[in-house]
Structure 1
Amino acid sequence: MTVTLKLATSLDGRIATAAGESRWITGPQSREQVHRLRAAHSAVVVGVETALADDPELTVRLPGYRGRQPARVVLDSRQRLNPDCKLVRTAGEIPTYVIATGAPDPTLVSHGVRVLSAPAVSDERPDLRSVVQMLGDEGLSNLFVEGGGQVAGSFLRCGLVDALEWFRAPILLGGEGRPGVGALAVAALAEAPHFRRVEVSVLGEDLWERYTRG
């Protein structure tokens, strides 16, 4: 099982302005590469806040692409996903999972969503170590985590991230912007998650930085 975290941020690590505007921080070449990375993974993972705010499809959209679509996974402990959203409406065509902490919502199930019930941690969020194991049991062996900031921080805090795919745009959003990585509760530098940079590429005006866990 491998977990890759994707970040698309400003130079100062922000994924949106203070008002929540985020489309598009990075350029078209970066977004195209993200679709290639999606195609290389068995599932794309997002938090429910991202799903509610953006109503994404989380599909591979490349010219001429006819390959397999990755499964979509939403971390949604209270099953707040709207039955009218794109993810639920297309669940019959593309495998779609909701990770909850209670019994499956019959409405989501009736639309073809597979609801997996995970143990809850203290803040009622699903325990991510259990989630990764459960998804592995479903045959989803390499996960592509796309957001948002709290989800990124949670995977990093749990030590579950094996690789980073970081797309960095040449803009600054400042401290009011929304961070790409949520709280890590790092008290000392020695406790910080460490990664090793393995590649840097230029994509249009952006930088694409690749890291593995160090």
Structure 2
Amino acid sequence: MITSVQLGNFPARKFASPDAWDSFVELFRRGQQPLPPGWADLFGPLRNGTVDDLVIVGQLGQSLDGRVATATGHSKYINCPAGIEHLHRLRSLVDIVVVGVGTAIADNPQLTVRQVRGPQPARAVIDPKGRLGANARLFAEDGVRRLLITAEGRRATAPPGVEIIALPSQDGNIAPSDIASSLRRAGMRRVLIEGGADTLSRFIAARCLDRLHVTVAPVMLGAGGPGIELPPLERADQAHRMPTRVHQIEDDVLFDCDLSGQRVVLGVARKST
């Protein structure tokens, strides 16, 4: 089922002021009182897990023809400014932002909240082979927790204060379920898998996402880095059809996909009612 929700330049522009967003974030994190209309449609599902005590959301920005970068690797910026702002709002609502090492090397992201006001999340990089240098911006000392997720038996070096999580690996990859479980043990309950496309695809294939936000820009790149890539199916009717809500964010279209129906249990399971 697809539900269309027209947000225009974000819901009821009154929520766009810095003070209004601060108030929303505080209300969101309390977890009890109802959220105001507008933002509740978009961010309410991220408040509490329906499968267990975790909420894991993936985020991807892409072109209309399914590309996340040009053939030369350039990706700034496919989405419109409001789409980038949406990503920063997501960051301000979660406990930790996670990226793969390929994205960390290619883009050297800060993974901070800058386009809106809000609390800064912890930051983590999945780096099984210890490829990321100590000068990466996501390792910068700024008062938030920083984590390096690497493979067991790998000599990992990280700047002072960066926590190292060593997990089993197979063929150079760490299972998304192990990553999510380790983050839960580290005290994280709301997790944003921000990229890149390969990391996000692995979490989808492993059924480790509750929600997926795909922001599509009305541009075509023709060739370049693909977005989501999953194991092939023989028939189209074998594909999982998920509940989806569609939001207009200025020039971009946001698909908010509910994947909780196929998500594996990674934390303390919810009791059935």
How much is the aligned-residue C-alpha RMSD, in angstroms?
A: 1.8
Aligned equivalent of 2:72? 19
> Could you give the per-residue CA deviations for residues 158-190 of structure 1, whole angstroms, max 9, x where no partner exists?
01111111111001123x221111343434445
Check 1:136–1:187 CA distance in 2 against 1; reply closer, same or farther (3 A cut).
farther
The answer to whether the aligner puts 1:120 opposite 2:173 as a matched pair is: no
Following TM superposition, by how much is the alpha carbon of 1:33 offset from its aligned partner in structure 2, in angstroms? 1.1
The answer to whether the aligner puts 1:180 opposite 2:180 as a matched pair is: no
Aligned equivalent of 1:55? 108
- Amino acid of the structure 1 residue aligned with 2:114: R
> Could you give the per-residue CA deviations for residues 186-207 of structure 1, whole angstroms, max 9, x where no partner exists?
3444553432112x22222111
Report the 3-state secondary structure (helix = DSSP H, G, I; strand = E; otherwise coil) of the residue aligned with 2:90.
helix
1:128-143 matches, within 5 Å, as 128-143=176-191
1:1-214 matches, within 5 Å, as 1-63=54-116, 65=117, 67-90=118-141, 93-103=143-153, 105=155, 107-108=157-158, 110-121=159-170, 123-174=171-222, 176-189=223-236, 191-198=238-245, 200-213=246-259, 214=261
Following TM superposition, by how much is the alpha carbon of 1:62 offset from its aligned partner in structure 2, in angstroms? 3.0
Runs of 4+ in 1 over 6 A off after TM superposition: none
Report the 3-state secondary structure (helix = DSSP H, G, I; strand = E; otherwise coil) of the residue aligned with 1:161.
coil
C-alpha distance in 2 between matches for 1:18 and 1:106: 32
Check 1:114–1:18 CA distance in 2 against 1; reply closer, same or farther (3 A cut).
same
C-alpha distance in 2 between matches for 1:205 and 1:185: 31
Check 1:118–1:84 CA distance in 2 against 1; reply closer, same or farther (3 A cut).
same
Structure-2-length-normalised TM-score: 0.71
Residues 74, 97 of structure 1: 8 Å contact kept? yes
Residues 98, 195 of structure 2: 8 Å contact kept? yes
Following TM superposition, by how much is the alpha carbon of 1:111 offset from its aligned partner in structure 2, in angstroms? 2.0
Check 1:107–1:160 CA distance in 2 against 1; reply closer, same or farther (3 A cut).
closer
Check 1:191–1:130 CA distance in 2 against 1; reply closer, same or farther (3 A cut).
farther
Structure-1-length-normalised TM-score: 0.89
Report the 3-state secondary structure (helix = DSSP H, G, I; strand = E; otherwise coil) of the residue aligned with 1:155.
helix
Check 1:191–1:95 CA distance in 2 against 1; reply closer, same or farther (3 A cut).
farther
Report the 3-state secondary structure (helix = DSSP H, G, I; strand = E; otherwise coil) of the residue aligned with 1:69.
coil
Q: Which one has a bigger Cα radius of gyration?
A: 2
